[in-house]
Structure 1
């Protein structure tokens, strides 16, 4: 095993100290990332640890529960018109101030109007305070993903926190303590009194230290893990029963990074994609729950019945022989494609590709495996930093909803080339459509046009993992890889 990784984990184990198992209603949580800060979401998009804190002490009209299902937040209930153009929210009367909330929500939507897909909310005509306790969002076209986006910490209201479901007990910093909101009549009910004493001890910290704390028994939950830090769970010898891998869908693979790249040629992108042994890449990472992907869209989306398979996957679907023989045929074909392209462009050496990936042990392991596979077809890949000029850039994002729009929006011309102007036009028409059947038809057209030009080299579904103590309540795996803190305290009935 890599010596620097062993040194890092050994140091982290020493820093973590000795643990104990008597929690007494105290739950310690580490979110992988930087030290937590309570930021106004209108000032910048909250990072992972900041989002966990913000989602605990502030909430939007709605929020996500432990299963990543939308549940009441500031709004105790809501209704959606039959045409999907009107969302009416009735606010909790204790927190009701529809005018103020409407102003703050409009501010956030404006702030994120140029943000990445999955953050920005468009098609909003008006946000109106109908009464002090009722707010209405009026759309120009249906947005089935609206509730899922409003439930994200980026749309927490008010920005300064204090609306719950939890409160900060003390100050925010390296170690932040969270407590339940005061419960009426707690003095007369022992269960309520016990619930009021429960606390969450939250840290945002680097992966090696978080995993070391868990291995020592100091904390009950580590969350926010990805492919880049999965190896620490193996180095620390974390038992399989503690390792929790979310069934998250999204994008994990490469898109073209610059117009001068050899990867702008569709045949080179096809060759690079067909040469990847995706199962072997997961094995190199030692990744539990690895789910290889060959196309932009995963199966099971609500608005595309059957995503298109890439051309090369269709071509090799009926190759006789074992899976190994089929893969070898793919590699041979990819090598011929690269050789023809090189001859046409006057090259006599390997095709050179610079690949931008984040720093970290997972990137080093993954890139080494990919480099070997691409070298076999005459491509020499070099790894560069995430901000350096590159031919290919890694995308690693979880989808906020089970709809094709989010995936396809990453490959519109506004996001970079290669792209299809015809796909852009169909996408715009789909997003403006009020008829569900027409919208579905247009989204299918977008998907087929993008599949034809293959702007993305998929690797797998995003890897998202947590470490959870066996007796931890309120933690559930889910497709969004979102794990809110409040459910970890249980409920007022002592559960």
Structure 2
């Protein structure tokens, strides 16, 4: 397939967005990991107190301003003049029970475990809400900006915007800008270019639609779809890569047999040629530490013992470890790797299997949800820049001491105590070799040139109301 001109479509009509995956919906929002389409639709129809802008920074949502006091233990939000979809004004008495419900559901979504410091949500006035915390959390706003914290009333289709759903059809879900109560209706006349047509579809169809100039944005791309994109050969100017912050690596999920010993787990980490693995995609750096940087830890990221050898010496060290295991037991180790089933998963499998075979390990590929897996690929974008998030998500089956240190970071009464606990957890988790870091999450989009507000960002998040230049 040849690539058309990167000039794309003229800047007229609704912005057509294809998100990779199933048709977006608001239903079943209690799942721990909402699909990309569901998150986009939820964020568009029901923004939270705050939200992310085009570059992944905090901007006003239902709250127009806020202050943080008491060393990060109290957040006070003033609501803007907003309306629910039925035209009734948004008031604190509506928002408070919605927030309490979301925070109280311990396993409701992927960010709920990081909201346990919230002690109370109270209405101070009809326009003011206070959130009090049992422990300081100066980084709480990025959690409240997540689509999982969007405000949607039970039994209602919509929240407070920034869009309204105007129709569903075979072509997708039509979204139009929500009315701004502060603007004169005679002056505010949205143009068709402010509308968004959102659809969910498999990667191949979404990419084809884009290269044929029938859509403006393909979003939600991961390493699993990357080979499909390469085969389509779109214009390079339209291919955009996010510098996504998060985890991409192999979690140890069964500490049995060969993986019962930390030294053997280190041998698995040593066997993988990261520079070769990450060369399958552009702008995808290799990583050897769990934390990408110091973040809010008291120490720089802990470098694992297995990484102290130069890369060219690591396969021999891993091979020696495997050989000792084979000599003691009469056969080499067999490890089951849980990977995605798409073409990108196959590409990863080819690299990982080659490297493991080279040191004497026999790998078997199994599905991502296979309960018999020994190692499972973790591919997660971080919701906020917090060391505990990285450590907790990497600790799938880690030692009790590491898990206790992560819990100590959660319960720390002061920021210095939390930083020390995070550093301890990083050290213990790294020494335990409970997670094999490979890189950062790989997230790509196809972006038409008319979408001048689209910006790559560490959250890999691109709200639908921040795609085109503001006509006002």
Q: TM-score, normalised by structure 2?
A: 0.91
Name the structure 2 match of 1:322.
Answer: none
Name the structure 2 match of 1:167.
Answer: 164
User: Matched residues in 1 for 2:334 and 2:186: separation?
Assistant: 71
Q: For each residue in 1:343-373, what CA deviation from the matched residue of structure 2 results, as whole angstroms up to 9, or x when unmatched?
A: 23x133x311111112100001110111011
Q: Is 2:162 the partner of 1:182? A: no
Q: Residue 377 of structure 1: CA displacement?
A: 0.4
SS in structure 2 opposite 1:169? strand
Q: Report matched runs for 1:341-380 at 5 Å.
A: 341-344=325-328, 346-348=329-331, 350-380=332-362
User: In the superposition, relative to structure 1, how do residues 149 and 68 fare at CA in structure 2: closer, same or farther (>3 Å)?
Assistant: same
Name the structure 1 match of 2:382.
Answer: 399
User: In the superposition, relative to structure 1, how do residues 45 and 463 fare at CA in structure 2: closer, same or farther (>3 Å)?
Assistant: closer
Q: 2:8 touches 2:448 (CA, 8 Å); kept in 1?
A: no
Q: Residue 37 of structure 1: CA displacement?
A: 1.4
User: In the superposition, relative to structure 1, how do residues 157 and 63 fare at CA in structure 2: closer, same or farther (>3 Å)?
Assistant: same
Name the structure 2 match of 1:102.
Answer: 96
SS in structure 1 opposite 2:466? helix
Instruction: Select the residue among 229, 240, 247 that pairs with 1:244.
Output: 240
Q: Is 2:41 the partner of 1:53? A: yes
Q: 2:388 touches 2:409 (CA, 8 Å); kept in 1?
A: no
Q: Is 2:398 the partner of 1:418? A: yes
User: Matched residues in 1 for 2:423 and 2:233: separation?
Assistant: 45
User: In the superposition, relative to structure 1, how do residues 300 and 449 fare at CA in structure 2: closer, same or farther (>3 Å)?
Assistant: closer
Q: Residue 70 of structure 1: CA displacement?
A: 1.2
User: Matched residues in 1 for 2:411 and 2:170: separation?
Assistant: 44
Q: Is 2:122 the partner of 1:122? A: no
User: Matched residues in 2 for 1:359 and 1:485: separation?
Assistant: 29
Query: How many equivalent pairs are there?
Result: 457
Q: Residue 411 of structure 1: CA displacement?
A: 4.3
Q: 1:77 touches 1:91 (CA, 8 Å); kept in 2?
A: yes
Name the structure 1 match of 2:77.
Answer: 89
Name the structure 1 match of 2:425.
Answer: 446
User: In the superposition, relative to structure 1, how do residues 253 and 174 fare at CA in structure 2: closer, same or farther (>3 Å)?
Assistant: farther
Q: 1:426 touches 1:443 (CA, 8 Å); kept in 2?
A: yes
Q: Is 2:363 the partner of 1:381? A: yes
User: In the superposition, relative to structure 1, how do residues 174 and 142 fare at CA in structure 2: closer, same or farther (>3 Å)?
Assistant: farther
SS in structure 1 opposite 2:120? strand
Name the structure 2 match of 1:390.
Answer: 373
Cα RMSD of the aligned pairs, angstroms, is 2.3
Name the structure 2 match of 1:32.
Answer: 20
Q: Residue 28 of structure 1: CA displacement?
A: 0.9
User: In the superposition, relative to structure 1, how do residues 113 and 121 fare at CA in structure 2: closer, same or farther (>3 Å)?
Assistant: farther
SS in structure 2 opposite 1:331? helix
Instruction: Select the residue among 415, 433, 448 that pairs with 1:436.
Output: 415
Q: Residue 257 of structure 1: CA displacement?
A: 2.1
Q: Is 2:62 the partner of 1:74? A: yes
SS in structure 1 opposite 2:76? strand
Q: 1:118 touches 1:149 (CA, 8 Å); kept in 2?
A: no
Q: 2:290 touches 2:394 (CA, 8 Å); kept in 1?
A: no
Q: 2:142 touches 2:384 (CA, 8 Å); kept in 1?
A: yes
Q: Is 2:275 the partner of 1:274? A: no
Instruction: Select the residue among 288, 291, 295 that pairs with 1:294.
Output: 288
Q: 1:27 touches 1:199 (CA, 8 Å); kept in 2?
A: yes
Q: Which runs of 5+ in 2 are unaligned?
A: 83-88
Name the structure 2 match of 1:328.
Answer: 312
Q: 2:252 touches 2:375 (CA, 8 Å); kept in 1?
A: yes
Name the structure 1 match of 2:458.
Answer: 479
